[in-house]
Each structure stands twice: as C-alpha cells, then as structure tokens.
Amino acid sequence: MRRIIATLCFVCLTLMHLSAQGAMSVQFTPPEISLNILNTSSFDPTDPASQPVLATLQINNLESEAYNYNMKVSVFWNSTELVSTEFLSTSMIPLNGIVSFTNQDLITDSAPGGFSSVGGTTMSLDAILNSSNTLKNALFAGYFPDGTIRIKVEVKPQEDTTYSANATFTIRIRNAGSIFPVLPGRLIGMNPSVQSTNPVSYLWNSIFTGFDFNDYTLLIKEFAPNSPPTQGNVNNTGSVFYIGNEPNSGTFSDYLPYQDNYYYAWKVFAGVYNESSIGSGVASGTLSSNWYVFRFQSDANQDVAQEMTAMLNMLNNPLLRSLFSSGFTPTGTVFMDGRTYTGQEGMDLIGTLLGKELKIEISN
C-alpha cells in the first residue's frame, strides 16, 4: 500500500510538472549564428538601440487564460556565466497569445518595455568585463575573441515556482586569421621560382574555422614572358588563368594549360563575416594572402635555358654573372626587332654576340 501511495504521489508531481511546462513555450529565430568577428559595440547593454538585430525571441502562452510571467536572461561565455537578470511582466500575456523580443530587448542594462526588474539586478558591461581577464583584454581591443556566446532565456507563469520553458541563442566566433602561401613560387618582388611539371601543386596555410562561408578562392593570373608581374601591376594587368572555390584543406592540384616561359601569380582569399552580414549573407570584408609568383618551363625548355645560361656566361659580362648567381635564369626566348626567337634560333642570335663589346641594361 505504501509503495502504491508513493507511486501515485510521484505520478501527480510529474503531471503537475508537465502541466507547468505546457503553460508556455519559447523559441529563438535563428537558434544560432556563426561569425568571424563580433564587435564589442554590437553587444553593449548600455546602448541596446545600437545593437544590430541578430535574433528574435518568441514567447507563446499555451493556456486559455492570461497571466503575468517572469523572464530570466543569462549570458554565458563558453561555459562561464557572465551575468544573469530577471524580469517580471507588468502586463499579462494574452490567452494563446504571442510576444516577441530581439536581442536589443534582452541585452540591456534596464528592464525591457513591459517589464520590471526583479531583485534590482541589471546587465552591466562591467559585470561582463570582470568575468574573465582574457575576455576583458579582447573586449578592450574592440572585439570578442574566439569562443561561444550563449544567451539563455527562461520563462514561467508568475505563480509557478520553477521556470518551465527555455531557449538558447548561440553565437559562435571563429577568427579567420591570416592566409600564408607556401608553394609554388616566391613572394612577389623576389626572383620567381621555376616549375616544370604539370600539374602544379598549390599549398597554403590558414586557420580552419569550420564555417562553410569561409571556403577559399584561389586566383591564378598569367603574364607573358616579356611582362612579368610586379607589386605595382599584378592587380591590374595579366589575364585570369584560373579562379575557383577551394575547400579548407589548403591544397589545389589540377592539370592546367600552362605556357612555357610565362609567369603565373597566385593568391588565396576568403570572405570575412561579422554581425552586419546576418540576414544578407554578404561578406563584410575580404581576407587575402600576398601574391606568390613562379615561371613555368617544361623540362625540354629548361634544357634550352641552361644552354643559354652557359652561352651568356661566355660573354663575360659582370652584370649577367651577378644575375645568374642570384638565381635568375633565361626564359629560353630571345626578342629582337619585334620578333620572338626560341630554340636553336635563339641560341644562334646569342652566338653572334660572342667576342663583341656590349652595353647591357636590365629593365622590367
């Protein structure tokens, strides 16, 4: 008998709990967002009107009667609670009614419209700053560091002793950092390296954010042998040789129609997303690597270039010798009177210079 009574009491308590939970529902739209940058000013409770609208909270009264209700707002940084405030509605939520709020109404140092503060608690920026030295230093720099912000809202009818429904809005922050090319080539302005095999493999280092919108774009530009890229002209000259979206793996390799002795400049870039991108899906800025440059020469053409190097060394010109010792090599092409000569024709033209007094100038 005692066991039966205890079981009945447990069932009654469970039904009472379920009844309280069924009185209200609460939901964030969207439930979470992902950003590369979240500025401190966009999370300032002292000036909620300046916050961009990141999410909307909807509270539903599931009962066929109106009543006042409590709302508790807590903010967490990773697993640490930064601040928690509680409010009491000053007007009843209508029967089967719906009320809506945005983050501007929730992240505030005063009670939202239609509420009064419970226990005098407020959401202050000082409380947020003093919760963590790491967070404090980053916020003074003007942005949130990598991590997760959670805004948890709990609601209950005023007469209930425990909160019966809750929802959480999550902001995931992952800084995209920098993009560093590794190979092929060298930093623009340096002596370009030579690639002779196809496919050419591209490799770059970057921070993996895990966000789909941070996929990288690889851009390769092609420059003629007599018009190598420089820091001043790489953006505005040359032709687009390849452009494509690449995954976060940081590698690309494919057969492309490289031309002998042509220069190829490449870089990797990605869109950066902050709170202004919410809704539009448009990047707020671009993260880009530096340009890297290489020259393509097939194995056969490299043999010609080596023969030309040997023949040019026979001219005994100090300037040419200095260039070769610095790593420069001939392209294998000779330009004369508006014409182009390669292979044996180019070698024969250089041969006509042997034994002559020469004036040599270097130009871009």
**DSSP characters for 284-340?**
SEEEEPPPEEEEE--HHHHHHHHHHHHHHHTT--HHHHHHHHTT----SEEEETTEE
- Per-residue pLDDT of 241-281, as tens digits, reads 999 987 666 889 899 999 999 999 999 999 999 988 887 78
184/133 Cα distance (integer angstroms): 42
193/176 Cα distance (integer angstroms): 29
312, 362 in Cβ contact below 8 A? Answer: no
Residue ranges of the chain with per-residue pLDDT less than 70:
1-22, 120-121, 129, 131-132, 247-249, 299-305, 327, 332, 337-345, 363-364
pLDDT recorded at residue 74: 93
293/264 Cα distance (integer angstroms): 6
The residue extents of the domains of the chain are 23-173, 180-296, 299-351
pLDDT recorded at residue 165: 95
pTM of the model: 0.71
What is the C-alpha R_g of the chain?
34
- Per-residue pLDDT of 303-325, as tens digits, reads 666 777 777 777 777 777 777 77
For domain 23-173, the CATH architecture is Sandwich (2.60)
Is domain 180-296 classified as CATH 3.40.1360?
no
